[in-house]
């Protein structure tokens, strides 16, 4: 069922997010605190943006548990980035642990990752694929529900035209994610799937990011998810260089579990989206209508 962390803000060294915090993602791969099954040892992935060198983000995947991967620790030491999406995987029954099934998934400037599952996925896999353009269909190389959900997302981008972002690109991205979730829920409903879905999905293009905390389970709030704004850690001038305080305070973190015991982490409300634009205050949007698709 996985755990993930998304960061968007001033350039930060990967280790500050993935390794050093008291309850870092690497520690969550060993023992997460807010999942029924605490271990997330079915591979991991990190996607990050390096805008000066490439338009598109890079992705690093491994089928090994995050806790024992030396490459991850090495990369964490020497990479700094203004936007990261990192994910540790717990695969259903431990199967399908393959590189093709690691999150985040990527296409052009976009990265997407997911904690949860699409109920009845094997029964609706065909329905999800059927309406897709050939391009979106061709993106699917593995067997995860997440990769199929991403194909739906990309299909919409292709239909709309990526550039149709308007004046509020973060909101546009939010609408796209909501539309993706809607399409998935409708396909499942049409197939008569009644079991609850768990759809904490994060997507970004390096400048905007949106994260859902969504479930159709009538009980509870779905998988855990937290938001933290502002200057997270005890930073020194060294960390952020000569950037001014105002910029430092624009760091935004959305994470399955709280990386640190610091105050400031707020639980994302059930069935809401966190909508993030670089340099802006994050917004919370309700996903009311989605909850009504049975």
Q: DSSP labels for 128-173?
A: HHTTS-HHHHHT--S--HHHHHHHHHHHHHHHH-TTTTTT-HHHHH
CA distance readout (Å), 5 to 24, 25, 75? 9, 7, 16
Q: Which 140-169 residues touch a second copy, going by CB under 8 A?
A: 140-143
Nearest residue to 29 via CA among 114, 110, 88: 88
Helix-strand-coil percent breakdown of the chain, rounded to 5?
30, 25, 45
Is residue 36 at the binding interface for a second copy, with CB under 8 A as the rule?
A: no
Active-site hit among 1, 2, 181, 188: 2
Is residue 2 at the binding interface for a second copy, with CB under 8 A as the rule?
A: no
Report yes or no: 222 and 116 within 8 Å, Cβ to Cβ: yes
Is residue 64 at the binding interface for a second copy, with CB under 8 A as the rule?
A: yes
For residue 157, the minimal CB distance to a second copy (Å) is 20
Q: Considering beta carbons, is residue 68 or 266 the nearer one to a second copy?
A: 68
**Stretch touching a second copy by CB under 8 A, among 119-127, 173-181, 204-212, 268-276:** 119-127
Is residue 196 at the binding interface for a second copy, with CB under 8 A as the rule?
A: no
As a whole number of angstroms, the distance between CA 29 and CA 32 comes to 7
Is residue 98 at the binding interface for a second copy, with CB under 8 A as the rule?
A: yes
Active site residues: 2
Using CB under 8 A as the criterion, which residues of the chain lie in contact with a second copy when the complex forms? Answer: 13, 30-31, 39, 41-42, 48, 50, 52-54, 56-65, 67-68, 70-71, 74-75, 77-80, 91, 94-100, 122-123, 125-126, 134, 137-138, 140-143
């Amino acid at each position: 069922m996985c755990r993930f962390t998304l960061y968007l803000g001033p350039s930060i060294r990967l280790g500050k997010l993935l390794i050093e915090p008291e309850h870092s993602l690497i520690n969550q791969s060993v023992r997460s605190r807010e999942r029924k099954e605490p271990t997330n040892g079915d591979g991991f992935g990190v996607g990050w943006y390096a805008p000066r060198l490439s338009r598109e983000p890079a992705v690093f995947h491994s089928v090994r548990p995050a806790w024992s991967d030396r490459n991850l620790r090495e990369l964490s030491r020497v990479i700094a980035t203004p936007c990261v999406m990192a994910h540790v995987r717990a695969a259903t029954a431990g199967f399908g642990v393959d590189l093709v099934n690691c999150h985040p998934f990527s296409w052009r400037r976009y990265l997407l990752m997911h904690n949860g599952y699409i109920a009845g996925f094997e029964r609706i896999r065909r329905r999800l694929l059927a309406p897709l353009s050939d391009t979106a269909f061709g993106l699917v190389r593995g067997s995860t529900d997440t990769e199929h959900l991403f194909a739906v997302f990309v299909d919409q981008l292709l239909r709309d035209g990526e550039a149709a972002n308007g004046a509020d690109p973060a909101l546009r991205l939010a609408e796209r994610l909501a539309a993706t979730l809607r399409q998935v829920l409708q396909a499942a409903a049409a197939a008569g799937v009644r079991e609850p879905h768990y759809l904490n999905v994060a997507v970004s293009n390096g400048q905007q990011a949106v994260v859902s905390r969504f479930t159709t389970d009538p009980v509870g709030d779905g998988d855990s998810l937290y938001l933290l704004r502002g200057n997270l850690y005890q930073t020194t001038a060294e960390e952020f260089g000569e950037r001014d305080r105002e910029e430092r305070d624009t760091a935004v973190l959305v994470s399955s579990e709280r990386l640190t015991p610091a105050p400031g982490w707020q639980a994302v409300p059930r069935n809401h989206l966190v909508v993030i634009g670089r340099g802006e205050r994050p917004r919370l949007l309700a996903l009311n209508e989605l909850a009504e698709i049975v």
